[in-house]
Structure 1
């Protein structure tokens, strides 16, 4: 199998079809189809179920995808190591929505000025999804709510956050979950660590939400909290940064078991490209590749 064929197969799998894969790879659609057929012939098995509307990976295709991501990532890393030059290539980052908005603009802008040859991409999502994407080689690293004890991952603790309960301005003081009879929770989609923490706090104190409304941005969560639709658990830094919106909000301090949170940058132990190491150093750490492999994933740097 050629690496170029594996890259093409990965593109089809991730883009959901030949047409979008061809656009992403900047090549002709018929070329992608022909190369994919050649790969299937070489392997002696179908990698996709095809119909007029979509392509669905077969079990063999799903099995190959993990290997394809690992092999192409390793090839990219080897190329960077041999060149020995300044970091270049692609660096795919993931982040929690709140971290991307408040913590990352300045360091990522600094990184881009220092390493213009690195093609930097950032996508947001809940912690659980981001961890899965790093483990599956779809992201090189992610800013998540930690710590994480997954043996596949290594990481650095970056920031401590105080989480606060956010309600409309006229809400009565909240010191315990019992002050919130059958609340409506305003949160990001399932897999968000802050949502899970709020649900766990309510559940352990015998309070059960009437409903959970899911949102794609913290601005929408804050707006709905101000309108009295429900309550949310967010980093205080996020709420403070939105003061110029003049939303009628109340912030409630919570017990440290609920309020104390950490933000980590995590990556695979077997995948530490030069572009990622440069970012880690810019954020205030200087781990070597050998130290990455030896450090316990749940220990702070």
Structure 2
């Protein structure tokens, strides 16, 4: 078995599609199909069950995938230990925008002071996409607000954050018609749900909904007097420009988990990050 065949196999297995794996790797589909057929011939077993919806792993394929994760992990670690100046350890962390705005920079800044040799990347997306990226190996770990797939991922660290209602100065919380709620356009965003629940509990009458696709645009819209929203307390306390707004901490707390993919071996970089979080 060649390492490149195993890398191809990993992509095919995780994407459950030869065509998607070929596109992601930059190969032609026939090339990937031929390499996977060659791998099956070499091992003498079927690795995939093919159907109209794509492919799934056989029992033997699942076993090989576990070993593939370990082999690729050991190869990457070997390069970084043999020549750390050329091959740095890498760590890729995912988070939604609300967490990435303040919490992630604070954590990574402190982590990198202790582990300067690790190359760290942060990626932002919604909860569902983060889990897909983690499943496909594009992330080493992710901060998640709300539910996640517990059969595939495990939480290794958690903390709570306080939601804060923000509104322009001298802005009345009108229960009559005319209140504008500023929310994230991602329908799975927990802070969007928090705003809508707050409106319902406060008996707002037919509030207008303004959907925006980023935390920055939401904050700017509130700052410009367009309406009210709810964001993490860390965001409000860390930004001077938000001191011009009215803010009120809500009584509830929101739980955030740092999740990783369940597997026998984890990269050294994520082990170091987990130990850092758990201290």
Question: Does TM, normalized by the shorter one, top 0.5?
Answer: yes
- TM-score, normalised relative to structure 1: 0.66
Question: Is 1:276 paired with 2:274?
Answer: no
Pairwise CA distance, 1:223? 0.8
User: Following TM superposition, by how much is the alpha carbon of 1:162 offset from its aligned partner in structure 2, in angstroms?
Assistant: 1.4
How many residues are aligned here? 257
* Matched-pair contact (CA < 8 Å) for 2:183–2:195: no
How far did residue 278 of structure 1 move?
0.3
What is the TM-score with the length of structure 2 in the denominator?
A: 0.70
For residue 259 of structure 2, the aligned residue among 259, 266, 276 is 266
Q: Partner of 2:32 in structure 1?
A: 36
Deviation at 1:100, TM superposition (A): 2.0
Runs of 5+ unmatched residues, structure 2 = 42-47
User: Matches of 2:30 and 2:98 in 1, distance apart?
Assistant: 43
RMSD: 4.3
C-alpha displacement of 1:157: 4.0
SS class of match (1:104): helix
Q: Distance in 2 between matches of 1:227 and 1:34?
A: 55
Does the CA contact (< 8 Å) of 2:126 and 2:189 recur in 1?
yes
Aligned partner (choices 245, 250, 256) of residue 246 of structure 2: 250
Structure 1 residue ranges without an equivalent (≥5)? 23-28, 48-57, 286-301
1:80-99 maps to which residues of 2 (within 5 A)? 89-99=89-99
> What are the Cα deviations for residues 46-68 of structure 1, in whole angstroms up to 9, with x where unaligned?
x9xxxxxxxxxx7325x46x969
Contact kept in structure 1, 2:8 and 2:21, CA below 8 Å:
no
Give 1:146 deviation, angstroms.
4.7
Moved more, 131-140 or 232-241: 131-140
1:166·1:252 contact (CA, 8 Å) conserved in 2?
yes
1:228 match: secondary structure: coil
Match of 1:215 in 2: 213
The aligned residue for residue 101 of structure 1 is 101
| Aligned-residue offset at 1:135 | 4.0
Q: Could you tell me how far apart the structure 1 residues matched to 2:107 and 2:97 are? A: 16
